[in-house]
Amino acid sequence: MDRRTFLATLTAATAPICAQDPMPASKPTLHLAGEGHWLVIKGNHLPKGEIRINYLEAYCRASSTTADWVTHTTVGHTTELVSAAPDGKSLRLRCQVKDGLVVDHEIQAGDDEITFHLKAHNPTSRLNEAHWAQPCIRLGDFAGGETADPREVNIKLDRSFIFLNGRLTRLPTNPWATQARYIPGQVWCPKDVPRTDVNPRPLSTLVPSHGLIGCFSQDDQWIFAVAFSPYQELFQGVARCLHSDFRLGEVKPGETKAILGKIYVAPNAHDEGASLLQRYQKDFADGGRGND
């Protein structure tokens, strides 16, 4: 071996490791787990590694805005875990509602979204009683605790928003309702749903642009949002929760209705929701009207 070849071989053999191509960083992704009545979204990039959803908190009757929650509004149900993929990327659930409805849930996890495909079937000979339902999404660890502003005693979740007149609007909205059968909290009712048929919490006079409601993470690096189509209401609750509650309406004997839902957990583009809105408009081309 001549001197030139020897030096070239020596240089290649002793090149520092830092000069080599770095190993690719793992991409943030989401997984699913079912724990009793909880649907758990897991991700290493999430605060405390998860977001928990009371899935479902309740199936609900109409004429609920001023009614007693226990004696009138809620229709009992049970939820069965039908199957769970070993990789944590999909779950199938079945709800048996006491009015006879059977609701099948196919839930899939992507890298930055969760997709819900629901089918509500009425196998009975009578109309259903449950007209809407509540997935209660707990976001205290993600968005932060109660606001430190003493003037906003009704706000239980910091950094949250809805869309009004097509624009992301941070809470508290103005005006902010404070009177209802149960307080605090805030409900926003879409124009095509009777205002008599929503959560018995303070009902805003403001009408949301569509079914998106969400919040920013405490470190401002992530944005969370949820939407269902069709939807009954948007709600910010006292369990540091956000709701886009899905609508069933009347399900005739033998009828099946389809419902679409999305949860987004994406990097914050710092564009006041413009990127999020584009995704919503693509996923929900019907504008959130669904079956109705």
Tens of pLDDT, residues 117-155: 999 999 999 999 999 999 999 999 999 866 666 666 677
Enter the DSSP assignment of 22. Answer: P
pTM: 0.88
pLDDT band at residue 219 under the 50/70/90 scheme: very high
pLDDT at 12: 38
Tens of pLDDT, residues 166-187: 999 999 999 999 999 999 999 9
What percent of the chain lies above the pLDDT cut of 70? 86
Tens of pLDDT, residues 84-115: 999 999 999 999 999 999 999 999 999 999 99
| Contact (Cβ atoms closer than 8 angstroms) between residue 75 and residue 60 | yes
- Give the tokens for residue 261: 């839902």
Domains and CATH numbers, the chain: 29-283 (2.70.98)
Q: Using the predicted structure, report yes or no on whether residue 56 has a pLDDT greater than 90.
A: yes
Tens of pLDDT, residues 249-284: 999 999 999 999 999 999 999 999 999 999 999 999
Q: What single letter denotes the amino acid at residue 274?
A: A
- How far is residue 117's CA from residue 97's CA, in Å, rounded to a whole number? 18
pLDDT at 151: 62
pLDDT at 140: 93
